[in-house]
Every structure is written in structure tokens, then in C-alpha cells.
A and B are shown apart, each in its own frame.
Chain A
Amino acid sequence: MKHMALLRPAAVALGMLAAGAASAQTLTMGVRGGPESLDPHFSALGSHAEAAKHIFDTLVWSGDDLQIEPGLAVSWEPVDEDTWEFKLREGVKFHDGSDFDAEDVKFSIERIPVVSGPTTTTIYVRRVKEVEIVDPLTMLIHTDGPAATLPYDFVRLFIVSSEAAADYSTPETAAEGFNSGMATIGTGPYKFVSWEPKGDLVLERFDDYWRGAGAWEKVIRKEMPNDSSRLAALKAGQVDVINYVSSVDYLALERDSSVDTIKGDSVYIMNLQLDQREDTPLVRAKDGSKLDANPFRDIKVREAIDAAIDRDTMVEIVLEGLGKPANQMMPVGFFGSNADIPMPEYNPAKAKDLLTEAGYPDGFEVDLYCTSDRLPGDGAICQGLGQMFSQIGITTNVNAVSKTVYFPAQSRLEYSMFMNGWGTLTGEASYTLGGLAHSNDPDVKLGAFNRIEYKNEDVDRLLEEGATMLDADQRRATYEEAMAKVMADKAYISVVQLQTVWAAKAGMLAFTPRFDEDTLAFFIKPAS
């Protein structure tokens, strides 16, 4: 890339000023998605939170493996059934020089329900009933009943300055105040300089950051949704690091000495979902006639489908090696995942026998739906599943559709067999099992994403108990048990866990991939 310097006269001039300093002072990142606003409380979207983490801190920090760690709070513990005590970090400064204290936390928590957009951040504070300030560095959070996972909810509780944001906390004024920088005062590693929706976010180092000043004086976060363009920008030297390298490009980059690739496990797991209603719309006999019953209600059929999936081929061929076979809805090692669940065995002969035993010796016909544009490889995995099911006699019509079509139809319960990715973004099981595996019950606020009407009384009971257990070990055992039961029922069949690839200029950066796929400038260091 010897021509690179020609392109960037500014960078050259900077380099000269620095009198031959070896390390660059600006980090330019090419990322797939960006924030929707610079108000951190507006959206719960992953790329929104990722951008916000540069400017703001969260009360509880979520580490590389999504384990919870002290953030702006140094410690927390339940003091009674429905109260948590949080101790705050001392000496933390906002970008405008003011001190951080409990007032800012209270302000931020109470602001969220007012300014949150459709990708609503109210999920992070839904359990909070009241915030009580004991002293500037101690606070009590009263919840609407025992809230065991409150610290996990707070990993995306961004703290804004109660003074700077005071006038910008209604739905009408929030975007204006934060997008212009007037209210964009956080305690994070970088200060806001400018932002354009769908464009560049420009940031400047905050020297008084409590973790210590960052390595880069200036950070530019460029939004480049097109995979090929992002890679071209890296190769042309316009950006230093990019996220979400596609599996096809990954193979080529492995042989390219000018680019380093970094591969990391993702929280996203592809789950096949089988409708459990008595009457399901998109299943029929091969001659087109209606079946007497929904075959997916028969455990033998579900076992047959599971045994028909060749997970190794899926990873090696379909995903070009960028994935791992999955046997449960969360990466093993997360809080509440179960290491004892065996990996299902690929056995098409057994699958056919099971279908015969279930009374479908000639199989049946089903329409399989999945997203085609949400996660890397989703459409291809879907095609792969279709072929595998057809081999055991279940004629499968594959429909890989846009997420704009898929999710609304899924929520209207129009599908019988469908697959999409699910990321356990909090790193613990109540997030995943509570949403998917509990029967849909608004009274206990569980099962909101259970779109197959799956119901197992034992699982329901375990999940309700787990949600209120404040003892971590006890809770972990409860969720492990629930996970084993859910996976044994095979109404949800986990197929593969995805992996994510970053690429950077060779030898320039030291970078540790995070499970939640965040690309955070503060944690990217220049290679020494």
C-alpha cells in the first residue's frame, strides 16, 4: 500500500509534525452499522450501543466474554427481596469537567422511558420501581419484585450528565440536543466532535478518563454498510480496521499478507423453530391434502428433524468454517448454559426410521422460512437445512426472505417451521429462555418471543423461579436444568453458532474480539 500516503495529505502532514513518530494518532474504523441518534437512551440496537460506549459509560460493564464487571458502579448486592444497593465509582469526571454522582444515575434511569424509541431501551430499566439516593456514591434501586438479573440489565444503562441533558430529555428535544453535541456529555473514553446520521462519527480523546487516557487522539467511525466497499476501503488504506468480514472475503484475506484477520465467537446462534399449535398453517401431505395433526407436536418427528441436520457440513461447507455446531440456544460457558447437553448425532437412517414410527413413512411437505439479510450465512444455512430435510423424505420448500417480511409474519404466527438467529446479548440465560422458552404469558412478562406456542409446565415453573432467585449458584443450576429440558423437547433446535471476523492493516493493531461483536476504539491498541 505504498500509494496510501498520496490519498491522505492530512495524515502525511500530521506524520511530519509528529517528527517521525511511528504510531498513528488517528484510528479510522469502517463499521457496518452505526447509531440511530447520539442519545444513548434512544435505541437498544447493538450498533447504537457500540457507538454510545465510546462516549458514555454503563453502570455495569460487560467484559469480552460478557461476564459482568464493575463499570461506573464498583459493587452491587441485593439488600432485601426487592432492593439492590449500588456503590458508585469515586472521582469520575464528565467531559465537561463536572463530577459523576448518584444524581446522574437516577436522572438517566428516569429519562429512559421518556425518550426511548421503537428499539426500546425501556427493557433495561423495566424492573426498576424507584431509585433512592443514599449519598452521592450510594444508591438503592427498588424493583417490582425480586429482580435477580438487574445487574445484567444495567450493562446497557448508559449514564448521561444530569446537568447537560436536563433540557434535552423529551422525545422532541432529545435528538436535537444529543446530535448537536450540546447534551452529548458522558464519562466515556472519547468526547463527541461531530456526527451525521448514516455517516461519520468523529471523536476526540478524553484525557481524564477513569480507566486512563486512550491510545488514539482521534477516532473516526465510518458507517459503511456494504461488505465489499468496507473491505475495499481497508485495502485502499482509507480505514484501519473493519468489522463483519464476509465468509467469502475471509478465505481470500487469509492469504493476504497486507491484512490481519481476527476471528471471534459470536453470541448469535441459529435456531430452528417448530410450531407446536394443534393446527399449523404451512405443513401438508405430499399430495397437498391436509394432515390429520400437526406432525411437529410428535417428539419422534422433532427428533427425526434433529437427526437429519449435519451440523459439521453446515459449518465447513455452508459457513466456510466460520461457525461452530450448536446444541443449545446459548454459547456454552454463558451463565445458565449446560455443558452436559450432548451434541446431537447426524444420522439420516435413524431419522427416516423415526418418521416411519411416527406414522409418516413417506414424509410430508413443509414451507421453511428464514431471514436472508440479517446475519452472515442465514439464507445459506436455510438452503442447507432444506436439502437435509428433503433427504429424509420431508419435502422442504425453502423461503429465505428479508427480515422486514420475516419478523412481522413470525409475530403473526404465520409460519410452521422457521429459523432465525438469536444472540444472548446479556450473557445469561434468563434473557434467552425467558423470551423464547416460557409459554407466552403477559402476566408474568415471559415468553414474549415464543412464536411456536411451546409450553412445558416444568420449564415454565423453573423459569419463573429462576427469575426471582437472588442466589447466583442456585439460579445458575435452575437455568441449566431448564436449558436441558428445552433442548430435549426439540421444539427449538439449535443448529450453528456463528463466528465474526474483523480485518485490520497488517501489524498495526492489537485487538481482542468481543462476544457481543462490539468494535471499541478504547480497547484497540496500536501494535507495539
Chain B
Amino acid sequence: MLGFVIQRFLQAVVVMAVMSVIVFCGVYAIGNPVDIVIPPDATQDIRAATIAKLGLDKPLWEQYFLFVGNLLQGDFGRSFVYNIPVLDLIGGRLPATLELVLTSVLTATVLGVSLGIYAGYRPDGWLAKTIMAVSVLGFSVPSFWVGLILILTFAVNLGWLPAGGRGATVTVLGVPWSFLTLDGLSHIVLPAINLALFKLAMMIRLARAGTREIMLTDTIKFARAAGISESVILRRHLLKLISIPIITVFGLELGSTLAFAVVTETIFSWPGVGKLIIDSIAVLDRPVMVAYLILVAFLFVTINFTVDLVFALIDPRVRAGARA
């Protein structure tokens, strides 16, 4: 086990190092951030002074090693645009993204797996067919469009829910959370639905496919022959057996949604990290971009690692394989 952890950790370090080099060079290739942000009436010497102030006059390799040097001391640098430490900037917006993403991914998973199992258990019922039809919609309709339609329907025409932004927050453990207030909840509903729709469809499909396959296996036949009730079969045997692909996808989706909920965050003016990274790209705010992508790489490595551990806990076959 320890060997496995160490191996994963080394992998993560390599991934993050490669990532930082790519982002660094990529941004450098696009151009000098100063050209985008400098005011039009700046004179030549002001421009040169600004470039020097940000350390952009140094050769690329030197800039990179300065960055890595600071990073190793836990300093991700300061945003060019906001002049505050990058970690504060990202950390300040992480709770917003976290609560939105967790709400939507958890809802999608719980609801999607239940509906999917039902659709796989009674594949010919009209309800199952309806569920599958709706799930096709969830896949095929672009999420920015759904977002705008949700706003138009529930915020503009019906006036039931707010059109965007994050509602009132309550500070718990020094972090402001909005899902603990009624106003906050009303704000989170639409973006969470918007974000959840695609995942819901995917979970339904995964659960249904798994259910149909497992229901035909000997495990289920023998369980039935032993006189175990259907609900126990579904809960104890089926759910465990279909959960491997679902957990894998859950992990990946959680990661990618945390990192790139950009479209939803933009449409609903949600003050999360996705919006931050897009805005940073628009002005080539390199410290934010590099730090953010490194954190994302770290996030994915961590999630994948966790997912592997969870497999071992849930599925006896995986445990057995590891021992053998």
C-alpha cells in the first residue's frame, strides 16, 4: 500500500512540474501581459518600468526558476491584476465553487443512480422509457443554452428564483457558506440544476447499463433462488456491483466540475474559481493561471487516488486482486 501511495505521489509531482512548464511557456508565447493591460497613454519609459516591476524583462528560464523557487517555499506569487497573493484569491472563491459543485454532483449522482437502476430493472415500463428519453436531452442540449432558458423561465418570467449571483452567506469556521441561508439556497437552485443536468443524464445511463448487465448474472439468480427479497438484492448486491464505473465517473466529474464550471458560473454570475480563471486568461494573469492549473492537477491526482482506495473498500474482487 505504501509503495502505491509513494508511486502516486511521484506521479503527481511530475504531472504538476510538466503542467507548470507548459503553462509558463504557453502564456509567454501568447505575448507580454503588459501589452494588454498597460494604459494607452503610457510612454515608452513607463512601459519599460512596468515590465521590469513585474519581472517580465528577465529571460523566461530565469522567470520560471524564480517562480519554482518561491513555490517550494509555499509562495505561489501575487496576481498581476489584483496584487493579492494568488492563494488568497483562489481560496476566497473556492467555497462558492465547492458548494455549487457538491450540490450538483451529489444530487445528480443520488438521483441519477436511483433513476438509472429503476430504468434498468424495469426496462420496458413507460416510466423507464421516459427517463431514458429525458436523459438523452440532458446529453444533447448545450448547457449554456439550458442556463439561459432556466433564467428566462424561473427568474425573468415566473420571478420565483434569482437570476444570478450568490445569496446571503453565513460564516462557519471562517468560511462564508451560502447554502445555510434561505436566500443562499434560492440562489443556488438554478445554477445547480444547470450544472447537474449533464451529470444526471450520464449517471442514469451508467446505472441503467450496469443494472441490466448484473441482473442477468448468476449472482442475482442465486440470490433470488435463496429467497432473498428483491429490495435487498438491489441494495446489497446490485448496487455494489455497479458502483465501480459510477465511482470512477463521479470522481472525474467532481474534479472537472470543480475546475471548469466556467460556463455555468459565467451565466449565473456565480463568484467561483471557474470565472476567475477565465478572467485571468483574458488578461494573461500568469501567476493565477499557473497556480490554478497546478492546483487542478493536484486535485485530479488526489481524486483519482481516493477513487482507487474507495474501490478497494467497496468491491471485494478488487481487494482480492490486490492481495494476490
Q: A residues within 8 Å of B by Cβ?
A: 1-4, 6-7, 9-10, 36-37, 39, 42-45, 117-123, 126, 171, 174-176, 179, 196-200, 222-226, 228-230, 232-233, 235-238, 373, 402-405, 407-412, 422-423, 426, 431, 434-435, 440, 442, 445-446, 448-449
Contact = CB atoms under 8 A, between A and B. Distances in A.
A228 B148 contact: yes
Contacts of B269: 222-226, 229-230, 233
Given A6-B159, A39-B83, A233-B165, 5 more contacts: A2-B159, A10-B183, A118-B54, A232-B151, A445-B43
Of A229, A373, A405, most B-chain CB atoms within 10 Å: A229
Contact of A122 (B49, B163, B276): B49
B81 A36 contact: yes
30 contacts: A7-B161, A9-B183, A37-B82, A45-B37, A118-B81, A119-B37, A120-B42, A121-B39, A175-B84, A179-B84, A196-B92, A197-B92, A198-B276, A198-B279, A223-B269, A225-B279, A226-B266, A228-B148, A229-B266, A235-B156, A236-B156, A238-B155, A238-B164, A238-B165, A373-B282, A403-B282, A404-B36, A407-B35, A445-B44, A449-B40
Given A445-B45, A448-B47, A435 B40 contact: yes
A404 B152 CA distance: 32
A448 B43 contact: yes
Interface string B144-180: 0000100110011011111111100000000000000
Of B159, B160, B275, B281, most A-chain CB atoms within 10 Å: B159
B151 A229 contact: yes
Given A117-B83, A228-B148, A404-B281, A236 B162 contact: yes
Nearest to B275: A198
Interface of B: 30-47, 49-50, 53-54, 80-84, 89, 92-93, 148, 151-152, 155-156, 158-166, 183, 186, 266-269, 271, 275-276, 279, 281-284
A472 to B, nearest CB: 19
Contacts, number: 182
A120 B160 contact: no
A123 B80 contact: no
A404 B267 contact: no
B82 A36 contact: yes
A123 B41 contact: yes
A7 B39 contact: no
Contacts of B156: 232, 235-236
A404 B83 contact: no
A404 B80 CA distance: 15
A5 to B, nearest CB: 9
A228 B32 CA distance: 31
B84 A122 contact: no
Given A117-B83, A118-B80, A126 B163 contact: no
A3 B160 contact: yes
B36 A407 contact: yes
A44 B81 CA distance: 11
A147 to B, nearest CB: 13
A423 B34 CA distance: 19
Contact of B83 (A175, A222, A410, A445): A175
Contacts of B31: 404-405, 407-409, 411-412
B36 A408 contact: yes
B163 A238 contact: yes
Contacts of B165: 200, 222, 224, 233, 238
B56 to A, nearest CB: 9
Contacts of A9: 183
